[in-house]
Amino acid sequence: MSAAMPFTGFPIDRAGLKRREAEWIAGRLADPGSDLILLQAGQPVLEMQAAADGSRALLRLSASALGALPDGVPTVFLGLEGDGRAVFAASLPRRFDLETSPLAGLGEPAEMRAAAAGILVGGELALAATAKDLFDWHERHGFCARCGAASEIAEAGWKRVCPSCGAEHFPRTDPVAIMLPVRGDQCFLARNAQRFPRGFVSALAGFIEPGETVEEACAREVMEEAGLRVLSSRIVSNQPWPFPSQLMIGLLAEVAEGDAVLDLDELAEGFWFTRDEARALLSPQGLSFDGVTWRAPPPLAIAHHLITAWIDAQT
* Options 148, 163, 166, 258; binder of its own copies; rule CB under 8 A: 148
Taking CB under 8 A as the criterion, the residue among 30, 68, 114, 149 binding its own copies is 149
Give residue 66's identity as a one-letter amino acid code: L
- Shortest distance in whole angstroms from residue 251 CB to its own copies: 11
Whole-number minimum distance, CB 65 to its own copies, in Å? 23
Closer to its own copies by CB, 239 or 273: give it: 239
**Residue 54 CB, nearest approach to its own copies (Å):** 24
Nearest residue (CB) to its own copies, 136 versus 277? 136
Candidates 50-58, 90-98, 240-248, 279-287 — which segment interacts with its own copies by CB under 8 A?
240-248
CB of 257 to its own copies, least distance (A): 21
Using CB under 8 A as the binding rule, the residues of this chain from 178 to 237 that contact its own copies are 207-216, 220, 224, 235
Tell me the site size for its own copies, rule CB under 8 A. 59
The verdict on 243 binding its own copies (CB under 8 A) reads no
77 touches its own copies by CB under 8 A: no
Among 69, 181, 239, 303, binds its own copies (CB under 8 A): 239
Binding mask 258-277 for its own copies (x = CB under 8 A): -----x-x------------
Judged by CB under 8 A, which of 247, 261, 264, 292 binds its own copies? 247
Written in H, E and C, the secondary structure of the chain is CCCCCCCCCCCCECCHHHHHCHHHHHHHHCCCCCEEEEEECCEEEEECCCCCCCCCCECCEEHHHHHHCCCCCCEEEEEECCCCCEEEEEEECCCCCHHHCCCCCCEEECCHHHHHCCCCCHHHHHHHHHHHHHHHHHHHCCECCCCCCECEEEHHHCEEECCCCCCEECCCCEEEEEEEEEECCEEEEEEECCCCCCCECECEEEECCCCCCHHHHHHHHHHHHHCCCEEEEEEEEEEEECCCCEEEEEEEEEECCCCCCCCCCCEEEEEEEEHHHHHHHHCCCCEEECCEEEECCCCCCHHHHHHHHHHHHHC
Residue 88 near its own copies by CB under 8 A: no
Residue 140: CB minimum distance to its own copies, A = 6
C-alpha span between 75 and 91 (Å, rounded):
6
Q: Is 126 left (phi over 0), alpha (psi -120 to 50) or beta?
A: alpha
Residue 129, interface with its own copies (CB under 8 A)?
yes
Sequence length of the chain is 315
Contact positions vs its own copies (CB under 8 A): 1-2, 5, 7-10, 14, 16-17, 126-127, 129-130, 133-134, 137, 140-150, 158, 167, 169-175, 207-216, 220, 224, 235, 238-240, 242, 245, 247, 249, 263, 265
